[in-house]
Amino acid sequence: MNMPPVTKHLIIINVLMFFGKYVAERYGIDFDTLLGLDFFLASNFRLYQFFTYMFVHGGLDHIFLNMFALWMFGRIMEQVMGSRRFLFYYVVCGVGAGLVQEGAQYLEYMYEGLAAYDSVRLSDGTLLPMAEYLNRWSTVGASGAVYGVLLSFGMTFPEERMFIIPIPVPIKAKWFVIGYAVIELMSALNNRGDHVAHMAHLGGMLFGLMLILYWRRHSGGGGSHFHFGGGGFFGRRNDYNDGYYTRYEDVTNGEKKSWWSSMKKKWNERKQSAGMKAQPGGKHGDDMAWRQQKKERDEEIDRILDKVKQSGYEQLTDEEKRKLFEASGR
DSSP letters of 244-283?
A: S-EEEE-EETTEEPPHHHHHHHHHHHHHHHHHHSPPTT--
> What are the angstrom distances between the C-alpha of 208 and each of 50, 77, 213?
16, 12, 9
DSSP letters of 173-216?
A: HHHHHHHHHHHHHHHHHH-TTSS--HHHHHHHHHHHHHHHHHHH
Q: Inter-axis angle of helices 198-217 and 173-190, to 10 degrees?
A: 140
Cβ(175)–Cβ(80) below 8 Å: no
Residue 139: strand, helix, or coil: strand
Q: Residue 168: is the preceding peptide bond cis (ω within 30°)?
A: no
Question: Given the DSSP bridges, would you call strands 161-162 and 171-172 parallel, antiparallel or unpaired?
Answer: antiparallel
Give me the tens of pLDDT residue by residue for the chain, a chain 330 residues long.
578 999 999 999 999 999 999 999 999 999 999 999 999 999 999 999 999 999 999 999 999 999 999 999 999 999 889 999 999 999 999 999 999 999 999 999 999 899 899 999 887 888 999 999 999 999 999 999 999 999 999 998 888 888 777 777 888 888 889 988 898 888 888 876 667 888 999 999 999 999 999 998 886 433 334 444 434 443 333 333 333 333 333 333 333 344 456 556 666 666 666 555 544 555 555 677 777 887 888 888 888 887 776 776 667 777 777 777 666 545
pLDDT for the residue numbered 104 = 93
φ, ψ of residue 125 in degrees (nearest 5): 95, -10
Rounded to whole angstroms, the Cα distance separating 131 from 38 reads 12
φ, ψ of residue 30 in degrees (nearest 5): -100, 105
DSSP letters of 63-130?
A: HHHHHHHIIIIIHHHHHHH-HHHHHHHHHHHHHHHHHHHHHHHHHHHHHTTGGG-SEEE-TTS-EEEH
Q: How many residues does the chain have?
A: 330
Across the strands, what pairs with 200? none
- Nearest to 307, CA basis, from 324, 294, 295, 329: 324
DSSP H or E stretch at residue 7? helix 5-25
> What are the angstrom distances between the C-alpha of 268 and each of 210, 262, 290?
35, 10, 18
Sorted by where each starts, the structural domains of the chain and their CATH numbers stand as: 5-217 (1.20.1540.10), 244-328 (no CATH)
DSSP letters of 42-70?
A: STT--TTHHHHGGG--SSHHHHHHHHHHI
Amino acid in the structure at residue 283: K
φ, ψ of residue 150 in degrees (nearest 5): -60, -45
